[in-house]
Chain A
Amino acid sequence: MTFETIYKTYYRKIFRLCMGYVNDQEWARDITQETFITVWEKLDQFRNEASIGTWIFRIASNQCLRQIENQKKMPRSEIPFEIEDQATSNSETDGKIKLLYQCISELPETDRIIISLELEDVKQAEIAGIVGLSETNIRVRVHRIKEKLSQKFSQYERSDRF
């Protein structure tokens, strides 16, 4: 697979993963860029032990985890509360999308990665290979995170309504 094909196939997926992690468009774009720079640099070292997708998602999720070093750049408390724009957003769906990403970014770091990969339709066996847990663990975790997410989502929706 050439770098160009990889880039075109995975850019959007990686961006969404980063967006789920930081919930900030600019920051997510930066991490996505760092990811592809690493992919470009290390592509010749890629061995087919894992699928290319698993390999790229591993790099991207590790780049996300590495953002702790850049946290001064934007401490969590100062992350713009993007759902505030909800009232002015174009449609109800836009508001829901923002709300979903906001809810995900409030989860613990590894949960953010797991649920983002799950929503990106990555197989649970592959998620296990990315995070470093067993497939059974991932299945349980995904179930728990989804429940948590649904609760948060409904809470926000309710508070927005009243």
Chain B
Amino acid sequence: MKDQIDFKSLWQQQEVGSVPALEEILGKAKQLNRKTKIKFFGMNFMMIATIGVIIYILMSNNFEMITTKIGAVMVIMAIVSFIAVSNSLLLILFKTIPDETNQAYLQRMIEIKKKQEFIQGILMTGYFILLSTGIALYMIEFVLKMGTAMGIFAYSITIAWILFSWFYIRPKTVKKQQAEIDLIIRKLQEISTQIEGN
């Protein structure tokens, strides 16, 4: 009796609703393309503009101490590494064409996600170290010109911010990112096992 259920016929009768106009799909595809490009170039533009401003400040002021320049360079490096890594992650995702077999696609997604997890962890740590040290070094020259009390005050606030971001913001961000990616990796592996475990 069970075998007599005509699944194929039932399957084909599924209500599909009206097929959206072709123009609608093409419009959305073009819109999506545009949005991705704007996002991609916009992010890079903001980062490059920030670097430009820092370089301009460095060039237009006659800084006496080397620590100021080193500090500024470290801040720039933090920003540049952030752009480079974010772009490369974005590019990897762009290049993932989902026209491989399910098995190959799952494997590739797992690799990408693992890479993303690794890079994000290192990136966040490196970014905070470079940025914090850079700012601390950059400040030396200005603090020395202030009075002792103001100097102590300025550094206390900076160190407090650094400690807060290192011990609170950084671990929290990393943990949240890792947990999300971990869950996806686990699920992808589980599905991949469904195929392999055949």
Q: Which of B5-13, B59-67, B131-139 contacts A (4 or more CB under 8 A)?
A: B5-13
Q: Would you call A65 and B25 a contact (CB within 8 A)?
A: no
Q: Would you call B5 and A40 a contact (CB within 8 A)?
A: no
Q: Would you call A55 and B14 a contact (CB within 8 A)?
A: no
Q: Which B residues touch A15, using CB under 8 A?
A: 16
Complex Cα spacing A117 to B51, Å? 53
Q: Which B residues touch A108, using CB under 8 A?
A: 191, 194
Complex Cα spacing A66 to B184, Å? 10
Q: Which B residues touch A109, using CB under 8 A?
A: 191, 194
Q: Would you call B187 and A68 a contact (CB within 8 A)?
A: yes
Q: Would you call A154 and B2 a contact (CB within 8 A)?
A: yes
A133 sits at the interface (CB 8 A): yes
- How many interface residues does chain B have, given as a range? 35 or more
Q: Which of B74-82, B92-100, B117-125, B150-158 contacts A (4 or more CB under 8 A)?
A: B92-100
Contact status of A130 and B11, CB under 8 A, knowing A16-B16, A69-B184, A151-B2: no
Q: Which A residues touch B149, using CB under 8 A?
A: none
Question: Separation in Å of the B140 CB from the closest CB of chain A?
Answer: 45
Contact status of A16 and B14, CB under 8 A, knowing A108-B194, A131-B195, A150-B2: yes
